[in-house]
Structure 1
């Protein structure tokens, strides 16, 4: 992985704040396996680091937080195992003792939305869009826990609209349902909102924040557990003709021709 694909800064936004920037603007910051690996390593470090109180995640370029996953990474791997590995990372991110903030400026779809919904707070520019248009693009399926987390964040109606109608949700609609904590005009206002949030959190009781996060995490574990037969369902999807066609069409920059069975 190029060291430029993900950057990590400590204390630039204030003491105890770690800022991660996904830096592949030419690919709308789509996640590679290596980027996930570095984010996973950071989560492993932070869960034991009591000097850090806030983690901020953002995308470079002003066009996207992250536009899904790098599809070519699925070609030479067990897709279900890769999906499970990503899900484990998301669970680690969600369980961090730090308060996590997704600063969204632009498109936030697929893997990008999964990361954002596993953060505690989301703030977005007015031009931002959220969604899972996978039924029209790849023909794959999400892990159940990712679907449940989206529904817990955006509500069931918008989650159904994103997944079943392949529609992107605007930032103002996301704000209206509480999925984002603030919807601001532009990137400068987004930076100011993130800085204000980080500063306020920095003055709060770490004990209160940590216990509250643990309580909310326990509630999520009780209500968002995946079904027992999920791996078999995902294996059927990822080994099926629609996903093969979706990957082929995506890499060829064509519209997929999915079957109607």
Structure 2
């Protein structure tokens, strides 16, 4: 009798399907059902209103800005943690995971206090004409803070597993540091980097607690989509909240599909190389 890889496979599969149905499928189904209870005209009127469109623009642009910052600083931080030894390295490595453990509302309050104009950092920035609190810049900083670990923690293991012989061979052929990074290291990091950036972007799109404190939540200026959906819930407008949330759900599915496509292309390119 052939031994099964997973003992109790039917039970394991049943538990898994029950969990996925209860935790993932039912909430998503309820959201879609609630949004579908609106007629096409009412649904379109809600999701295409000026306030809703402004919240989409603010959310997406802020998330893109935070993701771009994560691309630069997340990759640099992962590189430093893997390639260099310095005093306090373990402390810095532990601090990277702080946004995972810290409640997002606490992060929002801390960032607001740090960048407020009556703080030393906020006043210094104000003196050079930079205002952070209650501006889109503050939204990007909050999103950057909460999503940075996704890039660092996906790139870091790949950097640790890179074969040093590849770089040594490139150096022996006369390659410069930049050309070695661009032609040897970066292609190998691309799949992990895309995964980290997609997770970072998704977290930024759905961020709520860290943003509402520093954003000021002014309609058409600093109001994100998740907050607008929350406001509709407070108004007992459940259908309106579901309609707005369904737009973000659709965006999440599209982003997931695009990310998987890009990762598959990057992996094929890496294998061919």
State the TM-score, normalizing by the size of structure 2. Answer: 0.24
Higher relative contact order (CA 8 A, sep 6+): 2
State the TM-score, normalizing by the size of structure 1. Answer: 0.25
Structure with more helix by fraction: 2
Structure with more strand by fraction: 1
